[in-house]
Amino acid sequence: MATQTSNPSAEIAEIPSFTVTFIVRRFDPENDAEPYWQDFDVEMYSTDRVLDGLHKIKWDIDGTLSFRRSCAHGICGSDAMRINGRNRLACKTLIKDLDISQPIYIEAIKGLPLEKDLIVDMEPFFESYRQVQPFLIASSKPDKERLQSPEDRARFDDTTKCILCAACTSSCPVFWTDGQYFGPAAIVNAHRFIFDSRDEGAQVRLDILNDKEGVWRCRTTFNCTEACPRGIEVTKAIAEVKQAVLRGRP
């Protein structure tokens, strides 16, 4: 029987392991008055992910380290965090893509209430999402599929990729200072329906996003686009929604 190992490339190329220092911002509300930074030295391979490093800390050094994760390959959106000051998914960030001559700084995403270590309260984020009516609004009840041309389908393809990880929203300087702002992720999810040819609720959503906490708060810093682990052109989507608001239609 073929045996499989978790790190074939390490075996194959005889890549040596090396020590990486993680400096993690810790906070346990039951014991700590304030967050603090803690160092951990971990043996890693260059093909490892940052998530592997966090697991090595949790499983071998300190079981109290708390973070969310599930799929471990960038599709479930659980493990968005600030890695060296940039919002990324821990499971999609490879050690070889970081400068390991320096420590790797890990902290929770910003702008949402800190719960424990790398875990934040996601509820305000999902509340903004729910407010933009993120579902198809269509009055017809066809007994077959609604038709949609490949061109119409392509118009909102990019924003269907969103995994609601909050990397974009929690990288936005406007959101950091104004938690009432809908934030990029909610606008992305509004975009996904506003430009769907089958949807009839565009006007409602455009009105919602014309609010003072809506699209006009966006200052096009492009942090969101840079942060998106799914490669969604978030700032462009926001710009398209702004234009639609001005036009009064998609």
* H/E segment holding residue 150: helix 150-154
> Minimum CB separation from another protein for residue 91, in Å?
10
- Single-letter amino acid code for the residue at 8: P
- Of these, 15, 21, 35, 69, which contacts another protein (CB under 8 A)? 69
Tokens of 89: 């998914």
Choices 63-71, 168-176, 204-212, 234-242; region in contact with another protein by CB under 8 A:
63-71
Instruction: Rule CB under 8 A: say whether 25 interacts with another protein.
Output: no
SS3 letters across 51-105: HHHHHHHHHHHCCCCCCCCCCCCCCCCCCEEEECCEEEEHHHCEHHHCCCCCCEE
Which residues from 91-110 bind another protein, rule CB under 8 A?
92, 94
Question: One symbol per residue from 115 to 134: x for binding another protein (CB under 8 A), - otherwise; what is it?
Answer: xxx-x--xx--x--xx--xx
Tell me the site size for another protein, rule CB under 8 A: 75
Examine residue 220 and tell whether it contacts another protein (CB under 8 A). no
Of 174 and 209, which has the nearer Cβ to another protein? 209
Sites for another protein among residues 131-160 (CB under 8 A): 133-136, 138, 141-150, 153, 156-157, 160
The pair of structure tokens assigned to 78 is 């659980």
Among 86, 110, 198, 236, binds another protein (CB under 8 A): 198
Site membership for another protein, residue 16 (CB under 8 A): no
Residue 193 binding another protein, by CB under 8 A: yes
Our CB check for another protein shows the closer of 201 and 218 to be 201
Specify burial of residue 20 (Cβ count, 10 A radius: 0-12, 13-18, 19+): buried
Q: What is the 3-state secondary structure (H, E, C) of 198-226?
A: CCCCHHHHHHHHCCCCCHHHCCCCCHHHH
- The yes or no reply on residue 246 touching another protein (CB under 8 A) is no
Is residue 223 within the footprint of another protein (CB under 8 A)?
no
Q: How far apart are the first and last CA of the chain?
A: 57
